[in-house]
Amino acid sequence: MAPRLPLVRVSGRNRQMPSGDVVPVSAGGTGGSSASAARVNLGALDSGLPAMRNALINGGMVINQRAFAGGSLAPGVYGFDRWKAGSNGASVSVSRGTITLASGAIIQVVEADSAAYLAGKAVTFSVEDPSATVTVAAVFAATDTTSVSGTIASGSGRKGVTLTLPSGTGNLTITVSVSSSTTFKRMQLELGSVATGWDARSTAFELHLCQRYYWQGLPWASGINTPIYTSGGYQSFAYSFPVTMRTAPAMTISNSSWSTGNLNTNFGTNGVSVSPNINGFRILVQSSAAAANCYVDWSGGGYFAADAEL
Has residue 62 been placed in a domain?
A: no
Counting every residue, how long is the chain?
A: 310
Residues 171 and 224 in one domain: no
Q: What is the CATH number of the domain that holds 197?
A: 2.60.120
- Helices and strands, number each (H, E), in the chain: 3, 20
- Is 192 in the same domain as 222? no
Looking at the structure, tell me whether residues 218 and 270 fall in a common domain. Answer: yes
At which of 210, 239, 260 does a domain end? 210
Residues 175 and 105 in one domain: yes
Closest CA relative to residue 56, chosen from 131, 134, 108: 108
Q: Say if 170 falls within a structural domain.
A: yes
Residue 200 domain-assigned (yes or no):
yes
Distance from C-alpha of 290 to C-alpha of 230, rounded to nearest angstrom: 4
Considering the domain boundaries, does residue 149 fall inside one? yes
Residue 267 inside a domain? The answer is: yes
d(CA 178, CA 161): 15
Instruction: Judge whether 188 and 36 are in contact, CB under 8 Å.
Output: no
- CB-CB contact of 125 with 182 (8 Å): no
Banded model confidence at residue 256, pLDDT cuts 50, 70, 90: confident
Average pLDDT, integer, range 28-50: 57
* Residue 295, CA distances (Å) to 271, 280, 291 in order: 10, 21, 10
pLDDT at 52: 85
How many independent structural domains does the chain possess? 3
Shared-domain flag, residues 101 and 177: yes
Report if residue 257 sits inside a domain. Answer: yes
Average pLDDT over residues 172-196: 98
Q: Does 194 lie in the same domain as 97?
A: yes
Q: Which of 161-165, 221-225, 275-279 has the lowest mean pLDDT?
A: 221-225
Mean pLDDT for the stretch of residues 72-86: 99
At 44-70, the pLDDT tens digits run 544 444 448 999 999 999 999 999 999
106: which strand partners?
85, 176
Judging by DSSP bridges, how do beta strands 84-95 and 71-73 pair with one another? Answer: antiparallel
pTM given for the model: 0.84
* Residues 219 and 155 occupy one common structural domain: no
The answer to whether residue 60 sits within a structural domain is no
pLDDT digits (tens, 9 = 90+) for 90-104: 999 999 999 999 999
pLDDT at residue 152, rounded to an integer: 99
Shared-domain flag, residues 93 and 182:
yes
Share of the chain above pLDDT 70, in %: 84
58 lies in a domain?
no
Which structural domain, as residue segments, surrounds residue 161?
71-210
| 307 conformational bin, left if phi > 0, alpha if psi -120 to 50, beta if neither | beta
| CA of residue 166 relative to chain centroid, distance | 22
Q: What is the CATH number of the domain that holds 256?
A: 2.60.40
User: What mean pLDDT value characterizes the chain?
Assistant: 91
Q: Are residues 205 and 230 in the same domain?
A: no
Same domain for 117 and 205, yes or no, is yes
- Whether residues 267 and 299 share a domain: the answer is yes
Residue that terminates a domain, selected from 210, 233, 254: 210
Same domain, 185 and 291: no
Domain final residue pick, 181, 210, 239: 210
What contacts 2, CB < 8 A, 6 or more positions away?
none
**Of 43-47, 161-165, 263-267, 268-272, which gets the smallest average pLDDT?**
43-47
pLDDT more than 90, % of the chain:
82
